[in-house]
Structure 1
C-alpha cells in the first residue's frame, strides 16, 4: 500500500492540468509575495540574516537577494523568505495553517534564478503543486498541530514547499516523496516565538530547508516514505489527540486554490486580528461611531488566536503586530491599517494608546471549538449612549469568500513599493504576467535591473 507521502507525490506529479482560475490565483500570490519581499527587505530581521551570511553574498552568486547582492540558492531562500514574512503582510493559507507563499515563492525563485530554462509556466505549476502538498500535509494534523503551538509555516510549509521545489527540478514521484520525507526531518518552529524576529525567520528557514531537501533527494539521499504516519513520525510527534491522519484524504477535480484559496492580507499584522478588525469596521461603517464614543469593545476569538496575540501592551513594532488592542484601536481610529502604523514611533501614539484599554479579548471554549474547522470571530461594541452593537466574521477581507479587486491588489503592491522607498511602480508589470515568461531567470534579471535603478540615489 502506498504511504501518505507517496500518494501526495503521485498526485502532484500526475495532475494533468491547472485551470485558468488556478493559474491566475497562483500568479496573484506570487506578485503579492514579491511586493512583501521588496517592502520587507530593509527590515531588521532580513538585514540581520544577510549580515550573518555576508561572507556568502556578493555580485556573482546564482540567486538574487532582496537585501542586495547574490548568493547561493540556500542563503537566498533564507533571506528572501525572512523578508517575505517580516512585515506580516504576506498571505495566509488555512488548509495548511501556514503563510504558504512566504515559503514557496522564495524557495522557487531561488531555484529559478539558477536555471535559465525554467519558464513562468513551470514556476506556476510548481507553486500550485507545492500549495496542494502543503494542504495535504496539513489535512492530517491540523488544527490540533497548530493549536498545540507549532508554526505551520515552518513545519507544514516546509514539507509542502519541498514538493514544489522538487517538481520545479523535474524530479519523479519517488524523488518528490523523498524530498518531502527529508523536509519532515527539517520541520520545526514554535509559535512561542511570535512577536520576535525569529517568527519571520521561520519562513526563511522553511524556504531554505525546502530547497535543500529537494536537492538532497535529487542527489540520492533517502528517508522513510511513511514518516508522516508511522510511529515516531510527524503525526505521532507533531499532531494531537484530535488529529485525524490521512485515511480520508481525497483530491477533487478542482485545485485547492480554487476551492479554499489564499487570504490576501489587507492589514500588515497577525491574521488572528483580521476578522475582528473587519467585523468592527463593519459595525463602524454601519453605525458611524468614533472611538471617543466607545465605552468598551469585547472580542471573542479562537484559543489559538488568543495564544498568538500575546501583547496587550506592545513594546515594539513586532509585538504590535501581535496585539489585538493596538491593531484594533488603530484601525478604528484611522479607518485602516498601513505599514506606517508599525514603526517605533507609531505604536506609542497617545491618541491610540488611550483607547487600547477599552478592548478586551476572550477565547471560545474547547467544547465550542471541538469539531469545528473554523469558527467566526465576534465583536461587541458598547457605546457611551448605552447601545450594544454585535457582529461576527467567518472570513477576513481578502479571502475568496470576501474577495478584493485587482485594483486593490495593485494598490497594495504600490504601497509596498513606497514603503521600500520606491516611488516608481514599474516593477508591477514585470510580475503581473510572470506565467507567460519564457524564462524566470530573465524576468528576474529584468527585475534586478529595475530594482537597482529604482533604489539608486
Structure 2
C-alpha cells in the first residue's frame, strides 16, 4: 500500500513544469523573504546564534550567512532562518498554518549558495516543491494541529522544506520520501514560545533540520515511510482532536501557490492581528474618524489568534508583535505599522496605553469554529459621539484575495533596507530578482549581496 509520504513524493516529481503565475509568485516570495533576512540580520536572535557558532563561520565557508561570513549548510540555514522570521515580517501560508518561506528559502539558499551547480530556476522549482509538500502535510492535520498548540512553521514547515531541499539536490522519489520521514522525527516547536526569541529560532531549526534530513536521505539514511499516518506517528501524536488525516488528499492541476497562494505581510507583526488591523483601517478610511474620537474597540477573532496574542500590555518589542492592543493602537494612530514601531522604546510608549485599554478581544467558540477552516475577524468601533461602525475581514491585505501591488512590495523592501542601515543605493529589488533567473545562485548572491559583507565587517 502506498504511504502518504510516497504519494507526496510522487506528486512532487510529477510536476515537471510550472505556470508563469506560479513562477512569478514563487520569485516574489523568495525576494520578499531575502528582504526580511536582510532586515533581520542585526536582530538579537540571529546574532545570538551567530555568536554561538562563531568558530564555524569563516570568510570562505560553503554557504552564505546573512549575519556575515560563510558557514556549513546547516549553520547557515539555522542563522538565516532565524533572521528571516525574527521581525515577523515574512509571509504566511494558510494550508500549513506556517511561515512557509522563512523555512524554505533559508534552507534552499544554504544549498544553492554552497556551489555553482544550482541555478535560479532550480531554486524556484525546489521552492514550489517544498511549498506543495507543506500544503500536503498540512492537509491532514490543519487546523487541529495548530489549535492544539504546535507551531506549524517548525513542524509542518520542517517536513515540507525537507522535500524542497531534496528536490534541489536532485534526489529520487524514495529519497524525497525518506527526507520527509527523517524530518518528521525532527519536527518540534510549541506556540507557547510566541513573544520570545525562541519563536524565530523555530524557523531556524526547521530550516536546519530540513537541510540535514535531505542530506541524510541522500547518504542513504531511511525512516518509516508511513510515519505520518501510522500509530505513534505524526497524526497520532501531533494531529489534535479534530485532525482528518490524508484519506482524501488530492492535488489540483494548478499549483497550490495559484489556488491558495501566500499572504505577503504588509505589517511586521503576528498575522493574527492583520485582518483586524486592515478592517479597522478600512473603517477609519471610510468614516474619517481620528484616534481621539474612539471610545471603544471590540474585536472577534479565531481561538488560535487569541492564544497567539498573549500580551495585552507588552513590555518589549517581541511581546508587542503579539499584542492585538498594541498593533491596533499603533495602526490607527499612524495609519499603518512599520519596523520602527517595534523597538524597545516604541513598545512601552505611555501615550498608547490609554487607547490600548479601550481595545477588547474575544474569540469564536469551539462550536462556531467546528468544521470551518477560517472565519472572518470582526471589528466594532464605538466613537465618543455615539456612532458605531462594524466590518469584518476574511482575508488580510497581501493575500491573493487582496494582493499587494508593486508599490507596496517596493515600500516593504525599502523598509527592510532602512532597518538594516542600507538603501537602494546599496542593493535593489531587481538585484534580488536576478537570483531567481541566473545560471548560478551562488555567483549572483555573492555579487548582489557583497555590500552586506562590507556592512557586516564594519
- State the TM bucket, normalised to the shorter chain: over 0.9
What is the CA deviation profile of residues 247-275 of structure 1, one whole-angstrom value per residue up to 9, with x for unaligned ones?
Answer: 10110110000000000000000000000
What is the CA deviation profile of residues 188-225 of structure 1, one whole-angstrom value per residue up to 9, with x for unaligned ones?
Answer: 00000000000000000000000000000000000000
Query: What is the match of residue 101 of structure 1?
Result: 101
1:280-319 matches, within 5 Å, as 280-319=280-319
Q: Contact (CA 8 Å) 1:64, 1:448: kept in 2 or not?
A: no
Query: What is the match of residue 429 of structure 1?
Result: 430
Q: d(CA) in 2 for partners of 1:433 and 1:275?
A: 32
Does residue 332 (structure 1) correspond to residue 332 (structure 2)? The answer is: yes
Query: What is the match of residue 156 of structure 1?
Result: 156
Query: What is the match of residue 51 of structure 1?
Result: 51
Q: d(CA) in 2 for partners of 1:453 and 1:198?
A: 29
Count residues with an aligned counterpart: 457
Deviation at 1:182, TM superposition (A): 0.1
What is the CA deviation profile of residues 385-405 of structure 1, one whole-angstrom value per residue up to 9, with x for unaligned ones?
Answer: 111111000000000000111
What is the CA deviation profile of residues 416-451 of structure 1, one whole-angstrom value per residue up to 9, with x for unaligned ones?
Answer: 001100023433222223332011111111133232
1:227-306 matches, within 5 Å, as 227-306=227-306
What is the CA deviation profile of residues 39-71 of structure 1, one whole-angstrom value per residue up to 9, with x for unaligned ones?
Answer: 001000000011111111111210111111111
Q: d(CA) in 1 for partners of 2:437 and 2:42?
A: 30
Q: Contact (CA 8 Å) 1:27, 1:433: kept in 2 or not?
A: no
Query: What is the match of residue 16 of structure 1?
Result: 16
Q: Contact (CA 8 Å) 1:162, 1:183: kept in 2 or not?
A: yes
Deviation at 1:351, TM superposition (A): 2.2
Q: d(CA) in 2 for partners of 1:191 and 1:436?
A: 36
Query: What is the match of residue 380 of structure 1?
Result: 380
Q: Contact (CA 8 Å) 2:92, 2:98: kept in 1 or not?
A: yes
1:392-431 matches, within 5 Å, as 392-425=392-425, 426-431=427-432
Q: d(CA) in 1 for partners of 2:312 and 2:280?
A: 18
1:160-199 matches, within 5 Å, as 160-199=160-199
Deviation at 1:241, TM superposition (A): 2.1
Query: What is the match of residue 210 of structure 1?
Result: 210
Deviation at 1:126, TM superposition (A): 0.1
What is the CA deviation profile of residues 360-409 of structure 1, one whole-angstrom value per residue up to 9, with x for unaligned ones?
Answer: 00000000001111110000001111111110000000000001111211
What is the CA deviation profile of residues 260-301 of structure 1, one whole-angstrom value per residue up to 9, with x for unaligned ones?
Answer: 000000000000000000000000001111121111000000
Query: What is the match of residue 25 of structure 1?
Result: 25
Q: Contact (CA 8 Å) 1:430, 1:446: kept in 2 or not?
A: no
Partner SS, residue 361 of structure 1: strand
Deviation at 1:454, TM superposition (A): 5.5
Partner SS, residue 31 of structure 2: helix
Q: Contact (CA 8 Å) 2:435, 2:445: kept in 1 or not?
A: no
Name stretches of at least 5 consecutive residues in structure 1 with no aligned partner: none
Deviation at 1:453, TM superposition (A): 4.7
Query: What is the match of residue 143 of structure 1?
Result: 143
Taking structure 1 as the reference length, what is the TM-score of the superposition?
A: 0.99
Query: What is the match of residue 449 of structure 1?
Result: 450
Partner SS, residue 206 of structure 1: helix
Taking structure 2 as the reference length, what is the TM-score of the superposition?
A: 0.98
Q: Contact (CA 8 Å) 1:427, 1:450: kept in 2 or not?
A: no
Does residue 440 (structure 1) correspond to residue 441 (structure 2)? The answer is: yes
Q: d(CA) in 2 for partners of 1:196 and 1:311?
A: 11
Larger mean Cα displacement after TM superposition, 101-110 or 407-416: 407-416
Q: Name the Cα RMSD after superposition.
A: 1.0
Query: What is the match of residue 320 of structure 1?
Result: 320
Name stretches of at least 5 consecutive residues in structure 2 with no aligned partner: none
Q: Contact (CA 8 Å) 1:377, 1:393: kept in 2 or not?
A: yes
Q: Contact (CA 8 Å) 2:68, 2:457: kept in 1 or not?
A: no
Q: d(CA) in 1 for partners of 2:188 and 2:356?
A: 34
